[in-house]
Structure 1
């Protein structure tokens, strides 16, 4: 039986990878700093959880023991976690190599190497860590998640102003479909290729204003759409369309379908 280790298996995408892997009948080890308690709904039967931390190396050996592949869904959005993001990836890969794990797959962001935003730069540096490792590695670059847009729109709804970046278009993708792509990449037999980059985007491209109206309809928000300029690295990234990959449309869950499925949590 194939055994996978999911690092960050309690996060938004990681927990989807875990659930899908268990459903496929795989042996699943989950590495997390804060594993859910036994019996919790976030802890599916069939997965074994290990407490560990890639910033210190604690628990890595136990989680990686016997694994055929590791899927890295870890995040480092701010502060110390962001600063140590790439180093944590290097520590995870070193532990994987020591454990005899031959392959690793890492979740990344589309065109992260072309953005000046600190969070995106950290993803690009981590990709370089994977490329230099002694394992066979795959970096899966995805477009922005449906949930990101929903959070942006919800942030302004309290004051009845829904922020929309002027001229911005998005190609959002479902976290569950990204999880499927990560798992599929992990299960591809070893090919002797040291490092590959794969890019996936959502099934449709739409103006941010159009997506905001869909969110309003699903959430019942009565706020006004406020079109704003976005300066800085993120604004440049969006204006240049670096968040889009029209030739790589994947999945079938549009923003509207995702909203309908998650209406209770909007």
Structure 2
């Protein structure tokens, strides 16, 4: 039986990693700054939760004790969390190495090193930390999640506008399939390589307008689909198609199929 330590196991992808790992019969530890209390909706039976913080190193030793693999699904979207994102990764890896963990797996974003957008730059910086680690490391780069697009459309629809970025296409993937990819990377047999990277993309590439119409049909929103320019590093990243990996269509759940499973919550 493998013991997996999930850093960020209370986040969107981390929760799914935890769920799948428990169902598969693995031992699971979760490190989080705010672990859920027993009896609350976020608490999963059979999981060992630890209050820990990669920004300070507090609690890492206890969370990593006995772990075979650590899966890093942490996020740092703004403020100090964004600024210190790569440093937190280095602190986690150092603690994992001290604890005798055999492998570390990082969730990242496709071609994040080609974007000047701050969030993506932090992902690329963290990738470099993993590449330089003394541990065996795997970076899993994923395309954008179905939930990201649904969130963009839902936010705009509150103002009766469903935004579509000019020139943008997407290859969205389900977080459940990304979680499966992370677990597969954690459990695969040793390859003898110190560091490797792999990419996982959704099953189809569609224009953002088509995706918006699909979302509108699924939700019944009466907002107007409006094409808007997206400036800056993110706009360039999308217009040049750096968010796409046509040769890596490992996901199977389409955006339409994902929406159909979540009609009641959209």
TM-score class normalised by the smaller sequence: over 0.9
**Aligned equivalents of 1:142, 1:24: Cα separation in 2:** 22
1:41: Cα distance to partner? 2.9
**Aligned equivalents of 1:247, 1:111: Cα separation in 2:** 14
2:58 maps to: 58
**Aligned equivalents of 2:41, 2:186: Cα separation in 1:** 25
Partner-residue secondary structure (3-state), 2:90: helix
**Aligned equivalents of 1:29, 1:232: Cα separation in 2:** 39
**Aligned equivalents of 1:158, 1:23: Cα separation in 2:** 38
**Aligned equivalents of 1:237, 1:54: Cα separation in 2:** 29
* 1:1-266 mapped onto 2 (5 Å cutoff): 1-266=1-266
1:252: Cα distance to partner? 1.4
**Aligned equivalents of 1:54, 1:123: Cα separation in 2:** 15
Question: Normalising by the residue count of structure 2, what TM-score does the alignment of the two structures yield?
Answer: 0.98
1:245: Cα distance to partner? 0.4
Cα-Cα RMSD? 0.8
Question: Normalising by the residue count of structure 1, what TM-score does the alignment of the two structures yield?
Answer: 0.98
Higher mean alpha-carbon deviation, 238-247 vs 256-265, is at: 256-265
1:161: Cα distance to partner? 0.7
**Aligned equivalents of 2:237, 2:251: Cα separation in 1:** 24
**Aligned equivalents of 1:45, 1:189: Cα separation in 2:** 28
**Aligned equivalents of 2:3, 2:159: Cα separation in 1:** 48
Partner-residue secondary structure (3-state), 1:13: helix
1:40: Cα distance to partner? 2.2
Query: Which sections of structure 2, spanning at least 5 residues, go unmatched?
Result: none
**Aligned equivalents of 2:192, 2:32: Cα separation in 1:** 30
**Aligned equivalents of 1:151, 1:96: Cα separation in 2:** 34
Partner-residue secondary structure (3-state), 1:119: helix
Partner-residue secondary structure (3-state), 2:22: helix
Partner-residue secondary structure (3-state), 1:31: strand
Partner-residue secondary structure (3-state), 2:12: coil
Could you tell me whether the CA contact under 8 Å between 2:169 and 2:206 is conserved in 1?
Answer: yes
1:251: Cα distance to partner? 2.1
**Aligned equivalents of 1:75, 1:265: Cα separation in 2:** 23
1:19: Cα distance to partner? 0.5
Could you tell me whether the CA contact under 8 Å between 2:168 and 2:238 is conserved in 1?
Answer: yes
Count of residues in Structure 1 that have an aligned counterpart in Structure 2: 266
